[in-house]
């Protein structure tokens, strides 16, 4: 049995995942405008992934006789001062999502809800991977530096990372 407290907390998480999807979509659009095709592809894939995270909770709520609510998503920022700033924003957002998932796990534990606890472990692992990925991207950007040609090389690197991430995705 899943309590109303857990169901409400899961619906709140739907909002955060939905916001992440639109935030990354907005970033993809900015990258396209800046001529950063590799970064744009990366952000489009991330955006689709976050939508999948949101839908996973939708389906779980239906399975446990809950009612998933389509969230009201605040408009994300659509201007970024640099690629570095954009990826820092992603990293900070992912840390926020991790905190929220940890909070959800604590609620499930308090409610003695083992099914939701087990369901959430997928998110716990996903967040660890996402944070590590964003940290490695920020490190790479720092290594490449901010010389005149750096944007070209940053974009190439992100395109490579995106291809590796896409290849690692399980077949739909
Ligand atoms: Fe779903 O928040 Fe990122 O991964």
Mean per-residue pLDDT, 92-101: 97
Using the atom order of ligand 1, give the atom closest to the CA of residue 17: 1
Write phi, then psi, for 95 (nearest 5 degrees).
Answer: -65, -40
- pTM of the predicted protein model: 0.94
pLDDT at 148: 73
Ordered structural domains, the chain, with CATH: 4-168 (1.20.1260.10)
Q: Is 53 in the pocket of ligand 1 (CB under 6 A)?
A: yes
Query: Is the pLDDT reported for residue 139 higher than 80?
Result: yes
Q: Locate the ligand 1 atom nearest the alpha carbon of residue 50 and give its number.
A: 1
Decide: 50 in ligand 1 pocket, CB within 6 A: yes
The residue among 117, 161, 125, 111 whose CA lies nearest residue 140 is: 161
Return phi, psi of residue 39, to 5°. -65, -35
Local confidence band at 42 (pLDDT 50, 70, 90 cut-offs): very high
> CB of 120 closer than 6 A to ligand 1?
no
- Using one digit for the tens of pLDDT, what is the confidence trace for 51-67? 999 999 999 999 999 99
Mean pLDDT of 40-60: 98
8-35 pLDDT, tens digit per residue, is 999 999 999 999 999 999 999 999 999 9
Sign for the pseudo-dihedral over CA of 36, 37, 38, 42: positive
Quote the pLDDT of residue 1: 83
Cβ–Cβ contacts within 10 Å for residue 30, how many? 19
- Are the CB atoms for 15 and 61 separated by under 8 Å? no
Mean pLDDT of 123-131: 97
**pLDDT at residue 171, as a whole number:** 67
Contact at 8 Å (CB) between 108 and 5? no
pLDDT of residue 131: 97
What percentage of the chain exceeds 90 in pLDDT? Answer: 94
Nearest CA, atom 3, ligand 1? 94
> In the prediction, which pLDDT does 172 show?
58
């Amino acid at each position: 049995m899943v309590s109303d407290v857990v169901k409400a907390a899961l619906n709140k998480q739907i909002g955060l995942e939905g916001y992440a999807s639109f935030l990354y979509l907005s970033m993809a659009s900015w990258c396209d405008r800046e001529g950063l095709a590799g970064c744009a592809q990366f952000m489009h894939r991330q955006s689709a992934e976050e939508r999948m995270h949101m839908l996973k909770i939708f389906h779980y709520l239906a399975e446990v006789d809950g009612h998933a609510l389509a969230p009201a998503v605040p408009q994300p920022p659509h201007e970024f001062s640099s690629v570095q700033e954009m990826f820092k924003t992603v990293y900070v957002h992912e840390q926020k999502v991790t905190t929220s998932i940890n909070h959800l796990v604590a609620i499930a534990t308090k409610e003695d809800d083992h099914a939701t606890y087990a369901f959430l472990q997928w998110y716990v692992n996903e967040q660890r991977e996402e944070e590590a990925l964003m940290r490695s991207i920020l490190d790479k950007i720092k290594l490449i530096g901010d010389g005149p040609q750096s944007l070209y090389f940053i974009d190439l690197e992100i395109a490579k990372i995106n291809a590796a991430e896409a290849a690692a995705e399980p077949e739909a």
